[in-house]
Structure 1
Amino acid sequence: MSTFKFEAGAVFPSITKSDLGGNSRDLSKPLDGKDWQMLVVYRGRHCPLCSRFLNELNTYKSRLADLNIDLVAVSADSKEQLESHITKLEVSFPLFYGLSVEEMKSLGVYISHPRSEKETDHPFAEPGLFVINESGTLQVVDISNNPFVRPDLEKLVSGLEWIRNHDYPIRGTYSYS
Protein backbone atom coordinates (compact mmCIF):
# COMPACT_ATOMS: atom_id res chain seq x y z
CA MET A 1 0.00 0.00 0.00
CA SER A 2 1.31 3.43 -0.88
CA THR A 3 -0.03 6.86 -0.07
CA PHE A 4 0.67 10.29 -1.47
CA LYS A 5 2.63 12.66 0.76
CA PHE A 6 3.01 16.36 0.03
CA GLU A 7 6.51 17.68 -0.23
CA ALA A 8 7.01 20.81 1.82
CA GLY A 9 6.72 23.81 -0.46
CA ALA A 10 4.65 21.93 -3.05
CA VAL A 11 1.88 23.75 -4.87
CA PHE A 12 -1.37 23.06 -3.08
CA PRO A 13 -4.17 21.60 -5.23
CA SER A 14 -7.29 23.52 -6.11
CA ILE A 15 -10.38 21.94 -4.52
CA THR A 16 -13.71 23.69 -4.95
CA LYS A 17 -16.51 22.92 -2.51
CA SER A 18 -19.81 24.45 -1.42
CA ASP A 19 -20.97 25.74 1.93
CA LEU A 20 -24.51 25.55 3.30
CA GLY A 21 -25.36 28.88 1.69
CA GLY A 22 -24.65 27.41 -1.75
CA ASN A 23 -21.46 29.42 -2.17
CA SER A 24 -18.67 27.58 -4.01
CA ARG A 25 -15.07 28.35 -3.31
CA ASP A 26 -11.55 27.13 -3.99
CA LEU A 27 -10.48 26.02 -0.51
CA SER A 28 -6.80 26.70 -1.21
CA LYS A 29 -7.39 30.42 -1.84
CA PRO A 30 -7.79 32.92 0.99
CA LEU A 31 -10.54 35.53 0.91
CA ASP A 32 -11.27 38.83 2.67
CA GLY A 33 -7.89 40.35 1.77
CA LYS A 34 -5.91 37.60 3.53
CA ASP A 35 -2.78 36.25 1.87
CA TRP A 36 -2.48 32.84 3.62
CA GLN A 37 -5.03 30.08 4.00
CA MET A 38 -5.55 27.47 6.72
CA LEU A 39 -7.56 24.48 5.55
CA VAL A 40 -8.71 22.03 8.22
CA VAL A 41 -9.92 18.62 7.08
CA TYR A 42 -12.10 16.96 9.71
CA ARG A 43 -13.73 13.55 9.96
CA GLY A 44 -17.36 14.71 10.06
CA ARG A 45 -20.37 15.10 12.32
CA HIS A 46 -19.94 11.59 13.76
CA CYS A 47 -16.71 12.64 15.48
CA PRO A 48 -17.09 14.42 18.84
CA LEU A 49 -13.34 15.11 18.89
CA CYS A 50 -13.70 16.98 15.58
CA SER A 51 -16.52 19.08 17.02
CA ARG A 52 -14.38 19.92 20.05
CA PHE A 53 -11.37 20.75 17.83
CA LEU A 54 -13.40 23.00 15.51
CA ASN A 55 -14.94 24.84 18.47
CA GLU A 56 -11.51 25.36 20.03
CA LEU A 57 -10.09 26.47 16.67
CA ASN A 58 -12.78 29.14 16.51
CA THR A 59 -11.25 30.79 19.59
CA TYR A 60 -8.05 31.34 17.53
CA LYS A 61 -9.82 32.87 14.53
CA SER A 62 -8.99 36.47 15.46
CA ARG A 63 -5.30 35.69 16.05
CA LEU A 64 -5.18 33.96 12.68
CA ALA A 65 -6.88 36.99 11.10
CA ASP A 66 -4.25 39.24 12.72
CA LEU A 67 -1.66 37.10 10.90
CA ASN A 68 -3.54 37.57 7.62
CA ILE A 69 -4.53 33.88 7.60
CA ASP A 70 -8.01 32.91 6.35
CA LEU A 71 -9.60 29.85 7.97
CA VAL A 72 -11.91 27.20 6.46
CA ALA A 73 -12.79 23.58 7.22
CA VAL A 74 -14.12 20.71 5.10
CA SER A 75 -15.28 17.12 5.51
CA ALA A 76 -16.67 14.34 3.34
CA ASP A 77 -20.07 14.75 4.97
CA SER A 78 -23.11 15.43 2.81
CA LYS A 79 -24.95 18.74 2.88
CA GLU A 80 -27.59 17.17 5.16
CA GLN A 81 -24.94 15.85 7.55
CA LEU A 82 -23.28 19.29 7.74
CA GLU A 83 -26.68 20.92 8.36
CA SER A 84 -27.17 18.56 11.30
CA HIS A 85 -23.62 19.02 12.59
CA ILE A 86 -23.50 22.81 12.44
CA THR A 87 -26.23 23.02 15.09
CA LYS A 88 -23.75 21.44 17.54
CA LEU A 89 -20.86 23.75 16.64
CA GLU A 90 -19.89 27.20 17.81
CA VAL A 91 -17.82 28.32 14.82
CA SER A 92 -17.80 31.53 12.82
CA PHE A 93 -15.55 30.37 9.99
CA PRO A 94 -16.81 28.71 6.79
CA LEU A 95 -17.51 24.97 6.75
CA PHE A 96 -17.69 23.04 3.49
CA TYR A 97 -18.95 19.58 2.62
CA GLY A 98 -18.66 16.82 0.03
CA LEU A 99 -14.94 16.03 -0.02
CA SER A 100 -14.57 13.05 -2.37
CA VAL A 101 -12.24 10.09 -1.93
CA GLU A 102 -10.18 11.31 -4.89
CA GLU A 103 -9.87 14.76 -3.31
CA MET A 104 -8.86 13.18 0.01
CA LYS A 105 -6.19 11.21 -1.84
CA SER A 106 -4.95 14.40 -3.55
CA LEU A 107 -4.48 15.95 -0.08
CA GLY A 108 -2.57 12.94 1.22
CA VAL A 109 -4.85 12.48 4.22
CA TYR A 110 -5.60 9.08 5.67
CA ILE A 111 -9.03 7.72 4.73
CA SER A 112 -11.17 5.42 6.86
CA HIS A 113 -14.25 3.32 6.31
CA PRO A 114 -17.04 3.71 8.85
CA ARG A 115 -17.17 1.02 11.53
CA SER A 116 -20.97 0.88 11.22
CA GLU A 117 -23.88 2.82 9.76
CA LYS A 118 -24.24 4.49 13.16
CA GLU A 119 -20.90 6.21 12.56
CA THR A 120 -21.53 7.43 8.99
CA ASP A 121 -22.43 6.16 5.55
CA HIS A 122 -19.27 6.94 3.54
CA PRO A 123 -15.47 6.80 3.64
CA PHE A 124 -14.12 9.84 5.47
CA ALA A 125 -10.86 11.71 5.93
CA GLU A 126 -8.88 11.47 9.12
CA PRO A 127 -7.67 14.85 10.46
CA GLY A 128 -5.50 17.08 8.33
CA LEU A 129 -4.42 20.69 8.65
CA PHE A 130 -2.75 22.64 5.86
CA VAL A 131 -1.39 26.18 5.86
CA ILE A 132 -0.92 27.55 2.36
CA ASN A 133 1.22 30.65 1.89
CA GLU A 134 0.83 33.62 -0.46
CA SER A 135 2.55 31.69 -3.26
CA GLY A 136 -0.04 28.90 -3.08
CA THR A 137 2.51 26.49 -1.65
CA LEU A 138 2.33 24.31 1.42
CA GLN A 139 3.96 26.10 4.36
CA VAL A 140 2.76 23.81 7.19
CA VAL A 141 1.13 20.37 7.15
CA ASP A 142 -0.19 18.16 9.93
CA ILE A 143 -1.96 14.88 9.19
CA SER A 144 -3.03 12.02 11.44
CA ASN A 145 -4.41 8.56 10.92
CA ASN A 146 -6.81 8.83 13.87
CA PRO A 147 -8.87 11.44 15.71
CA PHE A 148 -6.72 11.45 18.85
CA VAL A 149 -3.62 13.10 17.41
CA ARG A 150 -4.01 16.75 16.40
CA PRO A 151 -1.85 19.83 16.74
CA ASP A 152 -1.95 21.79 19.96
CA LEU A 153 -3.66 24.94 18.71
CA GLU A 154 -1.84 27.35 21.02
CA LYS A 155 1.53 26.00 19.86
CA LEU A 156 0.40 25.99 16.23
CA VAL A 157 -0.85 29.58 16.25
CA SER A 158 2.18 30.77 18.25
CA GLY A 159 4.37 29.02 15.69
CA LEU A 160 2.51 30.69 12.83
CA GLU A 161 3.04 34.04 14.57
CA TRP A 162 6.77 33.29 14.65
CA ILE A 163 6.79 32.20 11.00
CA ARG A 164 4.92 35.29 9.82
CA ASN A 165 6.83 37.77 11.99
CA HIS A 166 10.32 36.40 11.28
CA ASP A 167 10.05 35.36 7.63
CA TYR A 168 10.76 31.79 8.73
CA PRO A 169 11.29 29.46 5.75
CA ILE A 170 9.35 26.37 4.81
CA ARG A 171 10.86 23.44 6.75
CA GLY A 172 11.21 19.81 5.67
CA THR A 173 12.37 20.48 2.13
CA TYR A 174 15.25 17.98 2.07
CA SER A 175 14.90 15.78 -1.00
CA TYR A 176 15.60 12.06 -0.86
CA SER A 177 16.24 11.75 -4.58
Structure 2
Amino acid sequence: MTNSIKLNTGKAFPSISATLLDGTQVDLGKAYGGADWHMLVVYRGTHCPLCTRYLNLLEEQKSALAEIGVSVLAVSADSKAQLTEHMEKLTVSYPIAYGLTEAQMKALGLYISAPRSAQETDHNFAEPGLFIINEQGNVQAVDISNVPFLRPELEVVVRGLSFVRSQDDYPIRGTVEY
Protein backbone atom coordinates (compact mmCIF):
# COMPACT_ATOMS: atom_id res chain seq x y z
CA MET A 1 0.00 0.00 0.00
CA THR A 2 1.31 3.43 -0.87
CA ASN A 3 0.96 6.52 1.25
CA SER A 4 -0.92 9.38 -0.27
CA ILE A 5 -2.05 12.77 0.91
CA LYS A 6 -5.56 14.00 0.34
CA LEU A 7 -6.17 17.73 0.51
CA ASN A 8 -9.00 18.38 2.91
CA THR A 9 -11.73 20.69 1.69
CA GLY A 10 -12.16 23.72 3.89
CA LYS A 11 -8.44 23.68 4.78
CA ALA A 12 -5.65 25.91 3.44
CA PHE A 13 -4.36 25.20 -0.05
CA PRO A 14 -0.61 24.56 0.20
CA SER A 15 1.82 27.28 -0.84
CA ILE A 16 3.29 25.89 -4.07
CA SER A 17 4.92 27.85 -6.85
CA ALA A 18 5.87 27.17 -10.45
CA THR A 19 7.27 29.22 -13.32
CA LEU A 20 5.59 30.98 -16.24
CA LEU A 21 7.26 31.14 -19.66
CA ASP A 22 8.44 34.70 -18.97
CA GLY A 23 10.29 33.46 -15.86
CA THR A 24 7.79 34.82 -13.34
CA GLN A 25 7.21 32.63 -10.29
CA VAL A 26 3.51 32.19 -9.48
CA ASP A 27 1.80 30.88 -6.37
CA LEU A 28 -0.47 28.18 -7.76
CA GLY A 29 -3.20 28.81 -5.20
CA LYS A 30 -3.47 32.60 -5.41
CA ALA A 31 -6.20 34.45 -7.29
CA TYR A 32 -5.12 37.28 -9.56
CA GLY A 33 -6.52 39.97 -11.83
CA GLY A 34 -9.14 41.22 -9.37
CA ALA A 35 -10.65 37.77 -8.75
CA ASP A 36 -11.07 36.53 -5.20
CA TRP A 37 -11.43 32.82 -6.04
CA HIS A 38 -9.04 30.75 -8.13
CA MET A 39 -9.15 27.65 -10.33
CA LEU A 40 -5.96 25.62 -10.70
CA VAL A 41 -5.93 23.00 -13.46
CA VAL A 42 -3.14 20.44 -13.34
CA TYR A 43 -2.63 18.70 -16.67
CA ARG A 44 -0.40 15.83 -17.79
CA GLY A 45 1.74 17.73 -20.30
CA THR A 46 2.30 18.45 -23.96
CA HIS A 47 2.29 14.74 -24.80
CA CYS A 48 -1.42 14.47 -23.93
CA PRO A 49 -3.91 15.40 -26.69
CA LEU A 50 -6.82 15.23 -24.24
CA CYS A 51 -5.05 17.82 -22.08
CA THR A 52 -4.60 20.11 -25.07
CA ARG A 53 -8.32 19.82 -25.81
CA TYR A 54 -9.26 20.44 -22.15
CA LEU A 55 -7.02 23.51 -21.87
CA ASN A 56 -8.51 24.95 -25.06
CA LEU A 57 -12.04 24.28 -23.74
CA LEU A 58 -11.08 26.04 -20.51
CA GLU A 59 -10.30 29.17 -22.55
CA GLU A 60 -13.94 29.16 -23.69
CA GLN A 61 -15.04 29.33 -20.03
CA LYS A 62 -12.49 31.93 -18.90
CA SER A 63 -14.78 34.96 -19.28
CA ALA A 64 -17.67 33.23 -17.49
CA LEU A 65 -15.30 32.38 -14.65
CA ALA A 66 -14.01 35.96 -14.53
CA GLU A 67 -17.61 37.21 -14.28
CA ILE A 68 -18.04 35.26 -11.04
CA GLY A 69 -14.63 36.30 -9.68
CA VAL A 70 -12.61 33.17 -10.45
CA SER A 71 -9.13 33.40 -11.99
CA VAL A 72 -7.61 30.50 -13.96
CA LEU A 73 -4.12 28.99 -14.03
CA ALA A 74 -2.85 25.70 -15.47
CA VAL A 75 0.34 23.83 -14.60
CA SER A 76 2.21 20.65 -15.52
CA ALA A 77 5.54 18.98 -14.84
CA ASP A 78 6.71 19.84 -18.36
CA SER A 79 9.95 21.72 -18.90
CA LYS A 80 10.08 25.25 -20.31
CA ALA A 81 10.94 23.79 -23.75
CA GLN A 82 7.98 21.40 -23.59
CA LEU A 83 5.56 24.17 -22.59
CA THR A 84 6.92 26.38 -25.36
CA GLU A 85 6.21 23.57 -27.84
CA HIS A 86 2.76 22.99 -26.35
CA MET A 87 1.79 26.67 -26.68
CA GLU A 88 1.79 26.17 -30.47
CA LYS A 89 -1.21 23.82 -30.04
CA LEU A 90 -3.04 25.97 -27.50
CA THR A 91 -5.37 28.93 -28.03
CA VAL A 92 -5.36 30.23 -24.47
CA SER A 93 -4.92 33.61 -22.82
CA TYR A 94 -4.72 32.48 -19.18
CA PRO A 95 -1.33 31.75 -17.59
CA ILE A 96 0.25 28.32 -17.82
CA ALA A 97 3.14 27.34 -15.57
CA TYR A 98 5.69 24.56 -15.90
CA GLY A 99 8.05 22.61 -13.67
CA LEU A 100 5.67 21.03 -11.16
CA THR A 101 7.85 18.71 -9.09
CA GLU A 102 6.97 15.24 -7.82
CA ALA A 103 7.06 16.56 -4.24
CA GLN A 104 4.52 19.23 -5.23
CA MET A 105 2.36 16.63 -7.00
CA LYS A 106 2.35 14.55 -3.83
CA ALA A 107 1.52 17.60 -1.69
CA LEU A 108 -1.54 18.14 -3.91
CA GLY A 109 -2.59 14.51 -3.58
CA LEU A 110 -2.30 13.92 -7.34
CA TYR A 111 -1.81 10.60 -9.05
CA ILE A 112 1.63 10.36 -10.68
CA SER A 113 2.48 8.33 -13.77
CA ALA A 114 5.71 7.25 -15.39
CA PRO A 115 6.05 7.71 -19.15
CA ARG A 116 5.38 4.67 -21.31
CA SER A 117 8.34 5.56 -23.51
CA ALA A 118 10.83 8.35 -24.22
CA GLN A 119 8.59 9.39 -27.11
CA GLU A 120 5.78 10.18 -24.66
CA THR A 121 7.86 12.35 -22.32
CA ASP A 122 11.10 12.27 -20.37
CA HIS A 123 9.76 12.59 -16.80
CA ASN A 124 7.11 11.38 -14.42
CA PHE A 125 3.99 13.52 -14.65
CA ALA A 126 0.86 14.38 -12.71
CA GLU A 127 -2.47 13.01 -13.78
CA PRO A 128 -5.31 15.59 -13.96
CA GLY A 129 -6.43 17.66 -11.02
CA LEU A 130 -8.76 20.63 -10.65
CA PHE A 131 -8.73 22.76 -7.52
CA ILE A 132 -11.02 25.65 -6.56
CA ILE A 133 -9.51 27.91 -3.92
CA ASN A 134 -11.78 30.45 -2.19
CA GLU A 135 -11.08 33.98 -0.93
CA GLN A 136 -9.68 32.66 2.37
CA GLY A 137 -7.14 30.52 0.47
CA ASN A 138 -8.97 27.33 1.41
CA VAL A 139 -9.84 24.39 -0.80
CA GLN A 140 -13.45 24.94 -1.81
CA ALA A 141 -13.66 22.02 -4.27
CA VAL A 142 -11.31 19.45 -5.74
CA ASP A 143 -11.39 16.83 -8.49
CA ILE A 144 -8.51 14.41 -8.96
CA SER A 145 -8.28 11.69 -11.61
CA ASN A 146 -5.81 8.98 -12.52
CA VAL A 147 -6.59 9.18 -16.27
CA PRO A 148 -7.02 12.07 -18.70
CA PHE A 149 -10.50 11.06 -19.86
CA LEU A 150 -12.14 11.44 -16.43
CA ARG A 151 -12.39 15.19 -15.86
CA PRO A 152 -15.31 17.40 -14.90
CA GLU A 153 -17.17 19.10 -17.75
CA LEU A 154 -16.12 22.72 -17.59
CA GLU A 155 -19.59 24.10 -18.35
CA VAL A 156 -20.94 22.13 -15.39
CA VAL A 157 -18.13 23.44 -13.18
CA VAL A 158 -18.90 27.03 -14.17
CA ARG A 159 -22.64 26.58 -13.52
CA GLY A 160 -21.89 24.99 -10.16
CA LEU A 161 -19.49 27.73 -9.14
CA SER A 162 -21.98 30.38 -10.25
CA PHE A 163 -24.59 28.79 -8.00
CA VAL A 164 -22.23 28.45 -5.02
CA ARG A 165 -20.98 32.01 -5.40
CA SER A 166 -24.57 33.34 -5.51
CA GLN A 167 -25.41 31.80 -2.13
CA ASP A 168 -24.61 33.46 1.18
CA ASP A 169 -24.40 30.26 3.17
CA TYR A 170 -23.47 27.43 0.80
CA PRO A 171 -21.15 25.19 2.82
CA ILE A 172 -17.89 23.68 1.66
CA ARG A 173 -18.79 20.07 0.96
CA GLY A 174 -16.82 16.98 2.04
CA THR A 175 -15.46 18.35 5.31
CA VAL A 176 -16.44 15.45 7.57
CA GLU A 177 -13.20 13.81 8.65
CA TYR A 178 -12.91 10.07 9.04
TM, length-normalised to structure 1: 0.98
What value does the CA root-mean-square deviation take over the aligned residues? Answer: 0.7
Q: Would you say 1:14 and 2:26 are equivalent positions? A: no
* 2:171 paired residue number: 169
Task: Give the secondary structure class of the aligned counterpart of 2:156.
Answer: helix
Shift of 1:66: 0.4
Amino acid of the structure 2 residue aligned with 1:175? E
Matches within 5 A, 1:94-133: 94-133=95-134
Shift of 1:127: 0.1
Give the Cα separation in 2 of the matches to 1:134 and 1:11.
11
Amino acid of the structure 2 residue aligned with 1:22? G
The 10-residue stretch of structure 1 (115-124 or 16-25) with the greater mean CA deviation from structure 2: 16-25
Give the Cα separation in 2 of the matches to 1:132 and 1:161.
14
The 10-residue stretch of structure 1 (134-143 or 16-25) with the greater mean CA deviation from structure 2: 16-25
Matches within 5 A, 1:8-47: 8-47=9-48
Give the Cα separation in 1 of the matches to 2:166 and 2:110.
29
Give the Cα separation in 1 of the matches to 2:32 and 2:177.
32
Matches within 5 A, 1:144-163: 144-163=145-164
**Per-residue CA distance 1:27-83 (angstroms, 9 max, x = gap):** 111111111110000000000000000000100000000011110000000000000
Give the Cα separation in 1 of the matches to 2:9 and 2:26.
24
Amino acid of the structure 1 residue aligned with 2:13? F
Shift of 1:2: 2.1
Give the Cα separation in 1 of the matches to 2:101 and 2:111.
13
Amino acid of the structure 1 residue aligned with 2:151? R
Amino acid of the structure 2 residue aligned with 1:172? G
* 1:89 paired residue number: 90
TM, length-normalised to structure 2: 0.97
* 2:51 paired residue number: 50
What percentage of residue pairs aligned between the two structures are identical?
57
Amino acid of the structure 2 residue aligned with 1:169? P
The 10-residue stretch of structure 1 (10-19 or 155-164) with the greater mean CA deviation from structure 2: 10-19
Q: Aligned pair count?
A: 176
Shift of 1:133: 0.2
Question: Structure 1 stretches of 5 or more lacking a match?
Answer: none
Give the Cα separation in 2 of the matches to 1:174 and 1:28.
23
* 1:77 paired residue number: 78
Shift of 1:169: 1.3
Question: Structure 2 stretches of 5 or more lacking a match?
Answer: none
